[in-house]
């Protein structure tokens, strides 16, 4: 009798609650709007506990978490009758998505309730109803078309919210209040910028999820996309797999390998909670003096075009019939990719970073633009503008190339993003004419601005420009449409948070084996033996005693190069991996003695019981302008080390560098064998796999190897093929094998 009265009483409470009318639901204050015909539920009794009402997109279920088993009930809700099930003691951080990210909302009604956090709802009454309401916003419904969702959301946005979406700020200034109050659309880690030193993927995921929660608390709950320079694996994360830099991949000529590396990179990036990789670089490097030469696959346009398969690896394979130019991201195991730097950054005069590319439009189109067309055909979601200029015009403000060519002629429908402080660098001194720089860049076609630090000034100036009509609202709406389109395509509205189930894949054996394969295939054999018919390689792994020398033989940081853990990279064991010395010790026989001296002493060199020497020398890590180099000699007295060792001991030289370096004829004559290993990354076993004969040399030069630096200024200009050396030391495509010297 008492039970029947209690039930009737609560039904009356519910009825009166609906009749009175309630404000729109907000997960912070606990208010709802509903009509009785939208609701369905069950009666829960005896509640004096914390009930967690959360959504798990992976199993399309609402999870009810509570300590009291009596509180667990199964429910169904319209229109698709998805099951709702309860569980006890689940890891809510791992399983759940925010209320803002779902198509249904879980509501609890009682005569008294208190919201203790975003997810926890504390009930202190004896009973309540759990109700589910279908969202009435088109943009929140994943069953609607992407363009319908974009149109609906855009129609709801204020100018402030639109300009916020066009703004990408750095992690260092991305506070909760900054993201929430300015409606920021994207956050990045510039040059690595970890949450703290040696942060692992879980640390990154927690940081990114924290930023995401701030974004979801804004009025419209538009999630951020988090960007990072994952240019040879997820190279910012301690313990991640570091693959060879692009110049090494270009030496493989293996497009499928690039695709597989892209897919592995995407998984390791998503494990850290990051949605967006500023990769691949599809520059066609025409001058090795350029500090970003190693980010290019080749000086040959066709090789670069073939390696755009990296986009498919990162984003997934678009289905047959996919609309040309429309962005594509296959799912939660993929990332938003970024083809960069549009356009001609690899062709600047004398290889000057951020310099001027002097070439006709026909030459620009054939040599430097062609890879972008391939990326666009494969659904690349974003393209980054170049710092450089074309015939004196800054790319960031070139309406012809950004809008008329890229967006209209090539049909690109994704996001065109600026480079880091790209608008500041449009004028001299940088940032001096900020008002006009913003106006010029946005009107030229830039959709999202990478403004890492002074975003408040940027948004203030930007707002003034729009309100004055200097930047048309149509241009703003076009940019925001593109940004929202990519966010919907990438699924960040449905899956805004990290997938912790991916954490174990970071640096896994499968990915390290893939990196090892890439190293093997990237090695280019330039010399094998001093005399015809007498090859020096492969080496005898059972030799009694060998010498390992050189600055790069036992330095993981040097082996990985720039863009590794930090922006410029550094020396030492900066992450987890295998140095060349480690790999040699692992590869040789148990009876072989390995002597290691970075710069061998006279006493060591005078020994007559050393079978052969392996000398590893090369460049120190660098990135961008810091790598511009007009001399290109082997640093750290590398030539002297090679000379002193090869005078006494038969020597294999392994050159670890991001580009061809000067090889003096007299030095080349001294050594017995020479291998270009590029910047191989963390898995040096790939080198020993080949030099000890377990695998064949397959690499071919991705760049012409010059004789003297002066020759680079004597190249013949050709709008079809670009600058070409007349008498190189080694031509493009050169590479010896064991079977054909």
The domain total for the chain is: 2
What average pLDDT score do residues 419-437 get? Answer: 94
DSSP annotation string for 307-321:
TTHHHHHHH-PPPTT
Residue 386, in any domain of the structure: yes
The pLDDT score that the predictor gives to residue 253 is: 99
Residues 498 and 550 in one domain: no
**How far is 386 from 610, CA to CA, in rounded Å?**
51
Q: What are the tokens at 433?
A: 């004419």
Residues 178 and 251 in one domain: yes
The pLDDT score that the predictor gives to residue 715 is: 76
- Among 131-145, 224-238, 412-426, 643-657, the least confident range: 131-145
Q: Of 459, 477, 505, which residue constitutes the final position of a domain? A: 505
Residue 732, in any domain of the structure: no
* Pairing status of strand 673-676 against strand 651-656: parallel
* Pairing status of strand 382-385 against strand 415-417: parallel
pLDDT over threshold 50, residue 81: no
Q: What are the tokens at 731?
A: 């031509």
Each residue of 563-577: pLDDT tens digit?
A: 999 999 999 999 999
pLDDT over threshold 90, residue 112: no
Task: Indicate left, alpha or beta for 567 from its phi (over 0: left) and psi (-120 to 50: alpha).
Answer: alpha
The pLDDT score that the predictor gives to residue 719 is: 57
> For position 677, which CATH number holds?
3.40.50.1700
Contact call for residues 216 and 100 (beta carbons, < 8 A): yes
Using alpha carbons only, give the angle 173, 176, 177 rounded to the nearest 5 degrees.
90
Only one residue has tokens 């030492």, namely: 572
What's the whole-number average pLDDT of the chain?
Answer: 85
Residues 565 and 442 in one domain: no
pLDDT band at 113 (very low <50, low <70, confident <90, very high): very low
Residues 298 and 416 in one domain: yes
pLDDT over threshold 80, residue 39: no
List 268, 300, 419, 628, catalytic entry: 419
Strand partners, 189: 228
Residue 297, in any domain of the structure: yes
**How far is 648 from 603, CA to CA, in rounded Å?**
11
Residue 563, in any domain of the structure: yes
Each residue of 6-23: pLDDT tens digit?
A: 444 443 333 333 333 222
Residues 193 and 252 in one domain: yes
pLDDT over threshold 80, residue 721: no
**How far is 213 from 731, CA to CA, in rounded Å?**
54
Strand partners, 55: 62, 97
Instruction: Determine what percent of the chain is predicted with pLDDT higher than 90.
Output: 78
**How far is 179 from 632, CA to CA, in rounded Å?**
44
pLDDT band at 337 (very low <50, low <70, confident <90, very high): very high
The pLDDT score that the predictor gives to residue 192 is: 78
Radius of gyration of the chain (CA): 29
Q: Of 505, 539, 562, which residue constitutes the final position of a domain? A: 505
Residue 83, in any domain of the structure: no
Residue 574, in any domain of the structure: yes
Residue 138, in any domain of the structure: no
User: What range does the domain containing 493 cover?
Assistant: 153-505
Residues 535 and 625 in one domain: yes
- 664 tagged catalytic: no
Cβ neighbours of 182 (radius 10 Å): 19
The pLDDT score that the predictor gives to residue 723 is: 62
Of residues 660 and 6, more confidence is placed in: 660
Each residue of 454-505: pLDDT tens digit?
A: 999 999 999 999 999 999 999 999 999 999 999 999 999 999 999 999 999 9
Residues 336 and 366 in one domain: yes
pTM for this entry: 0.84
The pLDDT score that the predictor gives to residue 295 is: 99
Instruction: Determine what percent of the chain is predicted with pLDDT higher than 70.
Output: 80
Residues 499 and 547 in one domain: no
Cβ neighbours of 323 (radius 10 Å): 11
pLDDT over threshold 50, residue 619: yes
Task: Report how far Cα 411 is from the mean position of its chain's Cα atoms.
Answer: 24
> For position 183, which CATH number holds?
3.20.20.300
List 295, 299, 624, 628, catalytic entry: 624
Residues 500 and 605 in one domain: no
Residue 414, in any domain of the structure: yes
- Among 100-104, 324-328, 414-418, the least confident range: 100-104
Residues 536 and 580 in one domain: yes
- 669 tagged catalytic: no
Burial class (CB in 10 A: 0-12, 13-18, 19+), 70: exposed
- Among 125-134, 531-540, 643-652, the least confident range: 125-134
pLDDT over threshold 60, residue 101: no
Residues 412 and 535 in one domain: no
Residues 457 and 569 in one domain: no
pLDDT over threshold 70, residue 78: no
Each residue of 532-559: pLDDT tens digit?
A: 999 999 999 999 999 999 999 999 999 9
CA-nearest of 307, 230, 239, 221 to 265 is 230
């Amino acid at each position: 009798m008492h039970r029947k009265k209690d039930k009737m009483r609560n039904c009356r409470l519910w009825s009166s609650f609906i009749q009175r009318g309630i404000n729109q639901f907000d997960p912070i204050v606990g208010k709802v709007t509903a009509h009785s015909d939208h609701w369905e539920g069950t009666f829960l009794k005896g509640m004096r506990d914390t009930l967690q009402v959360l959504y798990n997109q992976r199993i399309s279920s609402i999870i009810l978490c509570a300590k009291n088993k009596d509180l667990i009930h199964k429910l169904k809700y319209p229109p698709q009758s998805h099951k709702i099930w309860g569980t006890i003691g689940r890891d809510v951080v791992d399983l759940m998505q925010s209320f803002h990210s779902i198509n249904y909302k879980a509501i609890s009604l009682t005569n008294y309730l208190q919201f203790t956090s975003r997810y926890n709802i504390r009930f202190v009454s004896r009973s309540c109803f759990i109700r589910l309401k279908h969202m009435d916003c088109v943009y929140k419904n994943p069953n609607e078309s992407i363009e319908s969702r974009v149109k609906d959301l855009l129609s709801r946005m204020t100018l402030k919210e639109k300009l916020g979406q066009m703004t990408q700020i750095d992690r260092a200034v991305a506070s909760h209040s900054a993201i929430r109050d300015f409606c920021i659309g994207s956050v990045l880690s510039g040059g690595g910028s970890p949450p703290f030193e040696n942060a692992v993927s879980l640390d990154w995921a927690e940081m990114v999820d924290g930023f995401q929660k701030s974004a979801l608390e804004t009025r419209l709950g538009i999630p951020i996309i988090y960007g990072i320079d994952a240019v040879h694996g997820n190279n910012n994360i301690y313990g991640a797999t570091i693959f060879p830099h692009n110049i090494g991949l270009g030496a493989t000529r293996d497009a499928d390998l690039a695709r597989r590396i892209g897919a592995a990179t995407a998984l390791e990036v998503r494990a850290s909670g990051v949605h967006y990789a500023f990769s691949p670089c599809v520059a066609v490097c025409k001058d090795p003096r350029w500090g970003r030469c190693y980010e290019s696959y080749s000086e040959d346009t066709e090789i670069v075009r073939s390696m755009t398969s990296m986009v498919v690896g990162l984003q997934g394979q678009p289905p047959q019939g996919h609309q040309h130019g429309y962005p594509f991201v296959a799912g939660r195991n993929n990332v938003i990719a970024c083809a960069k730097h549009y356009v001609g950054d690899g062709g600047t005069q004398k290889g000057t970073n951020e310099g001027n590319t002097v070439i006709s439009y026909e030459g620009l189109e054939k040599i430097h633009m062609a890879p972008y067309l391939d990326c666009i055909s494969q659904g690349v979601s974003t393209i980054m503008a170049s710092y450089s200029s074309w015939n004196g015009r800054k790319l960031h403000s070139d309406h012809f190339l950004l809008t008329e060519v890229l967006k209209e002629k090539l049909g690109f429908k994704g996001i065109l993003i600026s480079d880091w402080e790209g608008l500041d660098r449009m004028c001299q001194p940088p940032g001096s004419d900020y008002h006009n720089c913003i106006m010029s860049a946005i009107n030229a076609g830039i959709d999202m601005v990478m403004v890492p630090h002074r975003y408040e000034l940027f948004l203030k100036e930007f707002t003034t420009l729009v309100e004055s009509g200097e930047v048309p609202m149509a241009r703003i709406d076009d940019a925001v449409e593109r940004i929202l389109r990519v966010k919907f395509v990438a699924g960040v509205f449905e899956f805004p948070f990290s997938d912790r189930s991916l954490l174990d894949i970071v640096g896994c054996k499968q990915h390290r084996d893939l990196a090892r394969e890439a190293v093997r295939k990237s090695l280019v054999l330039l010399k094998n033996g001093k005399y015809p018919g007498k090859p020096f390689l492969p080496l005898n792994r059972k030799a009694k005693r060998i010498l390992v020398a050189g600055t790069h033989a036992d330095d993981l940081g040097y082996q990985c190069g720039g863009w590794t853990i930090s922006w410029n990279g550094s020396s030492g064991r900066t992450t987890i991996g295998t140095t060349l010395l480690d790999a040699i010790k692992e590869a040789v026989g148990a009876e072989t003695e390995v002597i290691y001296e970075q710069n061998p002493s006279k006493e060591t060199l005078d020994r007559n019981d050393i079978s052969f020497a392996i000398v590893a020398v090369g460049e120190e890590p660098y990135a961008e302008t810091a790598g511009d180099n007009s001399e290109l000699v082997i640093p750290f007295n590398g030539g002297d080390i090679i000379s002193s060792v090869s005078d006494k001991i038969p020597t294999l030289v392994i050159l670890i560098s991001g580009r061809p370096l000067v090889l003096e004829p007299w030095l080349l004559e001294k050594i017995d064998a020479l291998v270009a290993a590029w910047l191989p990354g963390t898995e040096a076993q790939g080198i020993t796999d080949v030099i000890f004969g377990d695998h064949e040399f397959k690499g071919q030069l991705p760049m012409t190897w010059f004789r003297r630096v002066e020759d680079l200024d004597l190249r013949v200009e050709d709008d079809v093929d670009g600058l070409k050396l007349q008498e190189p030391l080694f031509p493009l495509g050169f590479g010896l094998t064991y079977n054909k010297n």
